[in-house]
Amino acid sequence: MLDKTTRINYLFDFYQELLTPKQRNYMEMYYLEDYSLGEISELFQVSRQAVYDNIKRTETMLESYEEKLHLYSKFEQRVKLLDELKLLTTDNNAHEYIQKLKDLD
């Protein structure tokens, strides 16, 4: 479950601008702020099932965007390469630059 949550959080970070405000609100509340479906449904005065359906559809959309654009997989590859590069160098200045590159994402 934690792996799925982490993945969805990353996908949300990369693709949230492609979502509607309602989708963003539900995803932020559910995945980032840890609201329950019931709490979200009360705040938006909709059924718990409506919130659940919206979140599931949005998860599917995020996965679809990733299949087409590959932003998250490219990010993972860059981080892995930077980690490997850091292991290969002993220069502290290089380590600082590598960390700055990782922080750009």
What are the structure tokens assigned to 79, written together?
């981080």
22, 54 Cβ separation under 8 angstroms: yes
pLDDT single digits (tens) 21-33: 999 999 999 999 9
Residue 91, phi-psi category: left (phi > 0), alpha (psi -120 to 50), beta (remainder): beta
State the pLDDT confidence band at 1, using cuts at 50, 70 and 90.
Answer: low
Distance CA 93, CA 81 (A): 17
Q: Is the pTM of this model over 0.85?
A: no
Q: Look at residue 30 in the predicted model and tell me its pLDDT.
A: 98
CA distances from 26 to 52, 54, 58, 89 (A): 9, 8, 9, 44
